Structure 1
Amino acid sequence: MNTALPGWTGPAVVLALALLLAPEPTAAQGVRTPPALERTTADPLANDVVDELFFGGRPSEAFQRLELRIERDSADVEARWRAARAALNLGILEDREEAEEQWFVVAGDHGEAAASLRPDDSEVLYWAAASLGREALQHGPRTSTRLVQQVWDLTHRVLELDPDHPGAHNILGKLNQEVMSLSGFERFLGRLLFSIDPLKEATWEAALDHHARAVEADPSTILFRRDYGETLAALDRHDEARAMWQAALALPSVYPVDDRFKDDIRRMLAELP
């Protein structure tokens, strides 16, 4: 899917709002590089088993096992947030538009359920924010802007619980970048039509600050460097963007979507002046 923001004007700003999180944010897709996984149980549905499948490049199988757990216990919050994570990755990896949309809606449903079950867990809230940000793409402007505001609130709540949480800083960096990439008229019209905090509070300085904090807290996640480089490139800081992206390409792939992100980076590097 092409995630570049075109130059909308006039009333079409509502579509721009629906795409605020279009470049893979929140989502995500990795908060911290996981430690080496060690099998501690023979239960085929246990957390360590599904994590091993997920990080082993088999997110679909991980998701199927998590679904079995959720069917058994709909309040299984550990299964819910992991299902959101798996569905989010599967949506990014999906080449068919309809299937991609379905995965993101599923991810949002699981993420929102997990957040309602454990509202004071920063990791749970992060995956809810990343999933709901992607789900925002699948709805009309009114629902999309509601979800974008929800993402904004969730990520700020994550930072209240964990001020250095890299995933939350990454999402806020991308949100600030996308809002500031709109034209001044689009932002003005959007504030008239939709009273949401991202449109009122976004700045380029905040975008850079959040991205820098994400990379500082977790320099080994490819997504964070990819997004930081994109913001630097948008500000014509091409040498810094190039260095950030080259560092990302040198990192080992950990998450199922990392090779896709590396493809994005190679494309963006080729387009730099």
Structure 2
Amino acid sequence: MSAPQFTPLPLFGGADVRAPVPPAWAPLPVAGVPRFDAATVLARWPRLHAGQPLPPPSDPALADAWALYHSGDFAAAAAAGLALGDDGANLADQATAIYANYVEPREATRLALFRQVGDRAHARAIAHPEDCQALYWHAYALGRYAQAVSVARALAQGLGGKLKQTLERIIELQPRHADAHFALGAFHAEVIDKVGPLVGRMTYGVRADTAVALFERGLEINPHSATGLMEYARALLALEGGVRLPEATRLYERAAGIEPADAREHLDAELAQAGLRD
């Protein structure tokens, strides 16, 4: 007997998934980011995409669009991805989501971009239930939006269970999807932080030891993930407070010491260094 089909929850409903990339995106706020072309993207593909298993593009136009993304030209990458249709849809969502999370200074615009990514990715996941990239960017947009507006409210609306199911489905389909491990570990920790370990376990099926195991596994797959290291540090503090501060600091130091490979990793390095200063 086949397993029941997994259906991701619509993120917001009503957003125009055909909407173009909005104008006036802010410039990248870091210097020294390497410039990529299609050839360098393909040569460095395994390192650049260690967190999310994804085959390198065979279409030169898609390789050019990925070069824009890794160079930090997120607006141009998103526009190029949308212009390529289905082949570029996941790139468009990745560029939009990463820009919204790291760069966009206007809260209303950030939330609108997450809404757009979430609904576009949801539409693809319904059409292609085993598209792990669509599932991941749907989950990413949902998680970041919930963090921005209120994790507690998202849980009360039942979004937490769907987010957990989506991330678990990604790991089932792609066991080496490091970023899904990090996101699911962070989910376990955030829920415990908001509702406590007992309610978290009984109501949402989350556990502190599961959070730690997910982060450890993610770092086995991709030890160069500054995002994973910082999320792990935040999770330890959420779960156990100041007693884990020395370990959290060491994780931030590891994150700050990673040589950035592209624009997003330069942004991560800035966050890690800022975290150490705080």
Q: Same fold (TM over 0.5)?
A: yes
Say whether 1:245 aligns with 2:252: yes
Instruction: Tell me what 1:112 maps to.
Output: 122
Query: Letter of the aligned partner of 1:240 in structure 2?
Result: E
Over 3 Å counting, the alpha-carbon distance change for 1:144 and 1:52 in structure 2 is: farther
Give the conservation status (yes or no) of the 8 Å contact 1:126–1:168: yes
Match of 1:210 among 203, 208, 214: 214
Moved more, 206-215 or 113-122: 113-122
- Cα displacement string for residues 201-244 of structure 1 (whole angstroms, at most 9, x for unaligned residues): 11211111111111111011211111112223342222322222
Name the counterpart of 2:74. Answer: 59
- Paired residue type of 1:82: L
Deviation at 1:87, TM superposition (A): 1.0
Q: Are 2:237 and 1:222 equivalent residues in the alignment?
A: no
Task: Give the Cα–Cα distance (whole angstroms) in 1 for the partners of residues 158 and 90 of structure 2.
Answer: 21
Residue 200 of structure 1, aligned match among 184, 199, 204? 204
Residue 100 of structure 2 is aligned to residue 91 of structure 1: yes
1:129 counterpart = 2:145? no
The 8 Å contact of residues 225 and 248 in structure 1, kept in 2 or not, is answered as: yes
Describe the SS at the equivalent of 1:182: helix
Q: How far does the alpha carbon of each residue in 1:100-147 deviate from its partner, in whole angstroms, 9 at most, with x for none?
A: 111111111222122223211333322222123224457784698444
Residues 161 and 204, structure 2, Cα contact 8 Å, conserved in 1: no
Q: Is 2:251 aligned against 1:268?
A: no
User: Considering only aligned residues, what root-mean-square deviation do their CA atoms show, in Å?
Assistant: 3.1
With a CA cutoff of 8 Å and minimum separation of 6, indicate the structure with the bigger relative contact order: 1
Show structure 1 runs of 4+ deviating over 6 A: 37-40
Distance 1:38 1:227, change over 3 A: closer
In the alignment, does 2:181 pair up with 1:169?
A: yes
Deviation at 1:264, TM superposition (A): 3.0
| Residue matched to 1:21 | none
**Residue type at the aligned position of 1:176:** H
Unaligned runs of at least 5 residues, structure 1: 1-29, 71-75, 192-196
CA 164–79 in structure 1, closer or farther in 2 if over 3 Å, else same: same
Preserved contact between residue 84 and residue 131 of structure 1 (Cα < 8 Å): no
Kindly indicate whether residue 85 of structure 2 is the aligned counterpart of residue 80 of structure 1: no
Matches within 5 A, 1:2-81: 32=50, 46-70=61-85, 76=86, 78-81=87-90
Task: Give the 3 Å change call, closer, same or farther, for CA 182–33 of structure 1 in structure 2.
Answer: closer
Structure 2, unpaired ranges of 5+: 1-47
Q: Distance in 1 between matches of 2:251 and 2:162?
A: 30
Rounded to whole Å, the distance in 2 between the matches of 1:204 and 1:247 is 22
Amino acid at match of 2:214: H
> 1:165-208 CA deviation, whole Å, 9 max, x = no partner?
211111111001111112549x85xx8xxxxx895211211111
Give aligned pairs, total: 224
